[in-house]
Structure 1
Amino acid sequence: MLLTRAPASWLRPYVRSMWAMVPAATVSNTPLREHVLPTGDMHLVFRLSGPPLRLFADAEDRTGYTVGYAIVGGARSAFYARDVSGATHSVGAQLRPGAARALFGLPAHELAERHTPLDALWGTAAAHALERIHAADALEAQLEVFEALLTERLRSRPQAMHPAIAQALARLGGGAPIGELVAASGYSHRRFISLFRDAAGLPPKRLERVLRFQRVMAAWTGAHTLPWVDLALQAGYSDQPHFNRDFLEITGMTPQAYARAAPASPNHVRA
């Protein structure tokens, strides 16, 4: 069972969406891996049952390493591989650019391309937060407690995003050239990149690559969709080799292998 909801209005500058999930109880004796594809956003997750989050460093890593039960996932430019052998009950949020300083007191680039245990950022408050969410007895109630926790953190240290970066992020999603964004900001190229990474975690060129890829994934609907190359050209790729190269680096598989996997959710693929 999956429950999703938009955050309250005062959280929306920082939180894109919230969710709570109780999956079907499936357990495997051998590790099952899932590639989680990048969206350009950060996420905050509390695991309420099942094993702690276990990630794999690369395809040869058979053991993996454990991150924990309360985790911050930074913005990424490529997939990460996680263990999905056991069922987990979790509550989480997809965070917008600009949320890192407000929620965690750090620039987003310090959390990018990796997962961080929440207690490294919140101290003992991370365990207290996990306990408060766990004490709620239904998904709706757990989301309400989670939303209250986010509200408490954000009200204690509100952080407005730099207006030039907010404008640049809005235009970047529509495919505007990075040079134009720098010029419109009124800052030097170096200063613009610094401000951008502080808010978004990734430099603009790398985030642009993820957003272009996600435009393809949003249009892909499975067996009856347009050919990959047509979707790629519509999304702004120069040609099919360009798309194939990006697809492999971002997902860890070819477009054909992705289609054969037929994922139920476009950004979560068994591998």
Structure 2
Amino acid sequence: MLQRIHTPPQAGACSLNAVPEVFVDECKSDFVRVAVPSTGTHVVVRFGAHISGGFDIHALGPRHKVHRKLIRGGQSTVFARLPLGTYQAVLGRPASELAGRIVALRDLWDTAATQRLEEQLAAASDAGAAAKILKAAIAERLEPRTCFDANTRLALKAARGLESGNVASVAQDLGISERHLRRVFREVIGLSPKTLFKLIRFERALKAAKECADLGWSDIAVSAGYYDQAHLIADFRSIAAATPRRFLAEVCSQS
């Protein structure tokens, strides 16, 4: 069960939504988790007897496909979702290098910083304490001069525009070429504008289907921004490798 951990912002952190969201997931028994695609980048800490050394730490880049994975009973996981614009500052890599990848934190941070975090996590009393330790370690790496540059601000504006418009209209509204928009998106977000727009539609449709059981798929398709129901079905097959109805049942079974 996912639980959001609330901790106050750290001193010195970037001023524009730079504090990461942190969640804890504690698994009581083995099960296959269905992970909906994420447009963000996370730092993830897993605790469990089946993990060498008792825990591990990885960076998880943006994903554009549904991921299904067996989670072992007794595993606790801490997720820190990094705000857009802080990936380079926290991980030392642009989003384009992390997209679709799982990278050990020791391959991104220097040895001293990694060892210090590992020692703190090893001494944590529980997953909640570990979440606060991870959040503080991330905040230490955030400086105003390294976050939210011109490209990041442009990507943020474009991402908001894609919630209601397509790539061509957003680029036109911003006064830039589609080519420039695609380049900035790759660098800052790790996904193309087209892929992000596709995932936004997918998330809208899934949310509507979960909240309105009596709503037909054709109506959901129109409200989510698809051309028609066939377009929606094609996207679900592409992203989730399942029909909309089957994937909805799969997601709801884990609620």
For the aligned pair, the TM-score class normalised by the smaller chain equals: 0.7 to 0.9
The equivalent residue for 2:21 is: 17
**Mapping 1:203-222, distance limit 5 Å:** 203-221=192-210
TM-score, reference length from structure 2: 0.84
TM-score, reference length from structure 1: 0.79
**CA positional deviation for 1:157:** 6.5
The equivalent residue for 2:3 is: 3
Moved more, 159-168 or 109-118: 159-168
**2:181 and 2:193 in contact (8 A); partners too:** no
- Alpha-carbon distance change, 248 to 242 in structure 1, aligned in 2, over 3 angstroms: same
CA RMSD of aligned residues (A): 2.6
**CA positional deviation for 1:47:** 0.8
**2:27 and 2:72 in contact (8 A); partners too:** no
Q: Which amino acid aligns with 1:146?
A: L
Unmatched tracts of structure 1, length 5 or more: 54-67, 266-271
2 CA distance for matches of 1:51 and 1:157?
41
**Mapping 1:54-203, distance limit 5 Å:** 69-124=56-111, 125-155=113-143, 158-162=146-150, 163-172=153-162, 174-203=163-192
**2:42 and 2:61 in contact (8 A); partners too:** yes
Q: Which amino acid aligns with 2:143?
A: R
**1:45 and 1:90 in contact (8 A); partners too:** yes
1 CA distance for matches of 2:144 and 2:75?
31
- Alpha-carbon distance change, 184 to 152 in structure 1, aligned in 2, over 3 angstroms: same
Taking every aligned residue pair, what percent have the same amino acid on both sides?
28
The equivalent residue for 1:37 is: 36
Q: Which amino acid aligns with 2:33?
A: E
Residue 244 of structure 1 pairs with residue 222 of structure 2: no
Q: Which amino acid aligns with 2:24?
A: A
Q: Deviations over 1:68-107 (max 9, x none)?
A: 8211111111122322244311211122332321211211
**1:50 and 1:86 in contact (8 A); partners too:** no
**CA positional deviation for 1:187:** 3.3
- Alpha-carbon distance change, 183 to 51 in structure 1, aligned in 2, over 3 angstroms: farther
2 CA distance for matches of 1:223 and 1:216?
10
2 CA distance for matches of 1:263 and 1:114?
27
1 CA distance for matches of 2:18 and 2:240?
26
Unmatched tracts of structure 2, length 5 or more: none
**CA positional deviation for 1:15:** 4.9
**CA positional deviation for 1:127:** 4.2
How many residues align? The count is 245
The equivalent residue for 1:60 is: none
- Alpha-carbon distance change, 50 to 228 in structure 1, aligned in 2, over 3 angstroms: farther
2 CA distance for matches of 1:199 and 1:190?
14
**CA positional deviation for 1:190:** 2.4
Larger helix percent: 2
2 CA distance for matches of 1:115 and 1:15?
22
